[in-house]
Amino acid sequence: MPYTYNYPHPAVTVDACLFTIQDDRLKIVLIRRAAEPYKDVWALPGGFIHLDENLETAVKRELEEATGITGFYLEQLGTFGQVDRDPRERVISVAYFALAPAGHVTLKADTDAIDAAWFDVNELPDLAFDHASIINKAIKRIQTKIETSNVAFEFLPPKFTISDVRQVHESVHGRPIDKRNFQKWLTGSNLIRPLGEKRGGSHRPAELYELKPSQRRKSFD
Amino acid sequence: MPYTYNYPHPAVTVDACLFTIQDDRLKIVLIRRAAEPYKDVWALPGGFIHLDENLETAVKRELEEATGITGFYLEQLGTFGQVDRDPRERVISVAYFALAPAGHVTLKADTDAIDAAWFDVNELPDLAFDHASIINKAIKRIQTKIETSNVAFEFLPPKFTISDVRQVHESVHGRPIDKRNFQKWLTGSNLIRPLGEKRGGSHRPAELYELKPSQRRKSFD
């Protein structure tokens, strides 16, 4: 390698903010660290990249190892490189956010972690490194994107009611939204189409919808 | 350093897309590389980070070295880490975009570059590494942000006419915009305020405006 750069190199990690909605709350996966630094402290799932893998490959690998979850929406959030953010050495972290449908997402802890759990974003524990500010930025990004893109539907199963979509918006923003205005906006938005099916045998069964195929977004835009 | 990670580390660079508007065209600074790889090929200004400097410090240093320009708006664009993007070794680039006011911005080439010049974004030369795709992403980001934020004013001097602002939007999008609708939107937007001054001694001197102080954005949001 004739042009190899001779100065010291930093270490590079990927870290992931994986969100879902449970019990009408926005939740994030954290792992409890099994080793120093920050042993026993909660942190984002992540780890050092391998030199022969792309960044997205690395973050998918780390997320799957830490949580067992695959098939999520994934997008780069930003790169965090403050000189003193890691006590080991200079470590630059490329952070991603990932969105998984609401429901029973089963977690498994791997060898780097002694525990993995979902946390309400409003009730976070003490966090390792600068992970609190990474999470803060991720939440703001999702709050912006939910108004300007179709990411709300990444939290939902393929068939949903209008009330389900409103609930996602309410969970992400952490406040109630006017039902009538939301329904009017969504049904007029050209985003969804009725399936001609209803859910539930209750007094007032709700109409089921799906996202129009032309509206489905790809990751890594 | 007891916890230093023993695996091989990648090299990390910062690269900058510095845009301005000249002659009603969106332009970007490129440098012609003085050394291998891609000797004599045009590229984004940038370089390897130092281990003791933050990412923003590194990109400001590289931009000032390559162009002599300081005081620009700066924001992280994204991190580019495809395994084979650099023939030397694994190099991960944290890319930024910067915006400078239209006008006569003087460039100076440094030791890494045999030349530095402004290029119309629609008439780019062959580019080193994956810099064409970094620039493509930066242009799309600016086209989105100009509709949802105040970045248009980063291209303008403190005093400007409504026609100046429309010209910035037209240059960024590369197409004309309806004058009357734009004026109506901008004067109703709560973004700007009239200065009670006019520009030019022409037949119809134009009203001068400034961005309201509450609307000024900080970099690194």
Question: For the residues B116-143, what does the mean pLDDT come to?
Answer: 97
Per-residue model confidence (pLDDT) at position A5: 63
- Determine, for residues A94 and B87 on separate chains, whether the beta-carbon distance falls below 8 Å: no
Residues A123, A177 within the same domain = no
Q: Which residues of B touch A (CB under 8 A)?
A: 1-5, 7-12, 36-37, 48-55, 76, 78-79, 81-83, 87-92, 94, 148
- Which residue is associated with the tokens 């390897």? B48
Asked if B23 and B66 touch (Cβ cutoff 8 Å), the reply is: no
- Determine, for residues A48 and B5 on separate chains, whether the beta-carbon distance falls below 8 Å: yes
Reported as a single tens digit per residue, the pLDDT across B166-176 is: 999 999 999 99
Last residue of a domain, one of B114, B146, B178: B146
pLDDT > 50? residue B219: no
- Determine, for residues A10 and B51 on separate chains, whether the beta-carbon distance falls below 8 Å: yes
B94 CB neighbours in chain A (<8 A) are: 79, 81, 92
Helix (H, G, I), strand (E, B) or coil at A54: coil
Phi, then psi, of A73 in degrees rounded to 5: -75, 135
Count of domains observed in chain A: 2
Asked if A90 and A83 touch (Cβ cutoff 8 Å), the reply is: yes
Phi, then psi, of A37 in degrees rounded to 5: -75, 165
pLDDT > 60? residue B94: yes
Residues whose CB falls within 8 Å of the CB of residue A89, separated by 6 or more in sequence, listed in order: A10, A11, B1, B3, B4, B5
**Structure-model confidence comparison of residues B21 and A109, the more confident one:** B21
- Determine, for residues B94 and A79 on separate chains, whether the beta-carbon distance falls below 8 Å: yes
Phi-psi region of A210 (alpha: psi -120 to 50; beta: other; left: phi over 0): beta
Reported as a single tens digit per residue, the pLDDT across A45-65 is: 999 999 999 999 999 999 998
Chain A nearest CA to B23, separation (Å): 31
Residues A129, A170 within the same domain = no
A146 CB neighbours in chain B (<8 A) are: none
Task: Using the Cα atoms of residue B6, residue B91, residue B73 and residue B143 in order, give the sign of their dihedral.
Answer: negative
Any domain includes A3: no
- Determine, for residues B51 and A78 on separate chains, whether the beta-carbon distance falls below 8 Å: no
> B130: which 2 tokens?
């994956």
**In whole angstroms, how far apart are CA B89 and each of A9, A155, B9?**
12, 39, 10
Asked if B96 and B77 touch (Cβ cutoff 8 Å), the reply is: yes
pLDDT > 70? residue B56: yes
- Best-predicted range by mean pLDDT (A193-202, B96-105, B120-129, B189-198): B120-129
Look over chain B and give the mean of its residue pLDDT values, rounded to a whole number.
89
Q: What angle do CA A140, A12, A6 make, to 5 degrees?
A: 140
Per-residue model confidence (pLDDT) at position A71: 82
**pTM, rounded to two decimals:** 0.91
Residues B169, B113 within the same domain = no
Helix axes B162-173, B179-187, angle to 10 degrees: 120
Nearest of B19, B141, B134 to residue B79 by alpha carbon = B134
Per-residue model confidence (pLDDT) at position B5: 63
Residues B37, B123 within the same domain = yes
Per-residue model confidence (pLDDT) at position A1: 37
Which domain CATH number covers A67? 3.90.79.10
Residues A200, A161 within the same domain = yes
Any domain includes B123: yes
d(CA A137, CA B55): 17
Reported as a single tens digit per residue, the pLDDT across A186-206 is: 999 889 999 999 987 667 789
Residues B168, B191 within the same domain = yes
A87 CB neighbours in chain B (<8 A) are: 3
Reported as a single tens digit per residue, the pLDDT across A134-167 is: 999 999 999 999 988 899 999 999 999 999 999 9
Any domain includes A220: no
pLDDT > 70? residue B185: yes
Any domain includes B2: no
Residues B131, B34 within the same domain = yes
Asked if A44 and A131 touch (Cβ cutoff 8 Å), the reply is: yes
Which of the residues A75, A84, A92 would you substitute to probe the B interface, choosing the one with the greatest number of B C-beta atoms within 10 Å? A92
Task: Using the Cα atoms of residue B93, residue B94, residue B95 and residue B96 in order, give the sign of their dihedral.
Answer: negative
Reported as a single tens digit per residue, the pLDDT across B21-51 is: 999 999 999 999 988 999 999 999 999 999 9
Which domain CATH number covers B178? 1.10.10.10
Last residue of a domain, one of A109, A127, A146: A146
Nearest of B162, B163, B142 to residue B154 by alpha carbon = B142
* Nearest chain B residue to A58, by CA: B81
Nearest to A5 among B55, B78, B89 (CB): B89
Asked if B13 and B46 touch (Cβ cutoff 8 Å), the reply is: yes
Any domain includes A105: yes
Last residue of a domain, one of B89, B112, B146: B146
d(CA A219, CA B181): 35
The residue range of the domain holding A167 is: 151-215
d(CA B142, CA B147): 9
- Partner residues linked to A16 by β-bridges: A96
Residues B180, B132 within the same domain = no
Residues A32, A103 within the same domain = yes
Helix axes A162-173, A179-187, angle to 10 degrees: 120
Residues B121, B161 within the same domain = no
pLDDT > 60? residue A168: yes
| DSSP element (H, E) containing B135 | helix B131-148
Per-residue model confidence (pLDDT) at position B204: 78
Nearest 10 degrees: Cα torsion B33, B39, B42, B45: -30
Any domain includes A5: no
> A220: which 2 tokens?
């890594």
Residues B42, B87 within the same domain = yes
Phi, then psi, of B192 in degrees rounded to 5: -125, 165
Residues A130, A210 within the same domain = no
d(CA A76, CA A209): 29
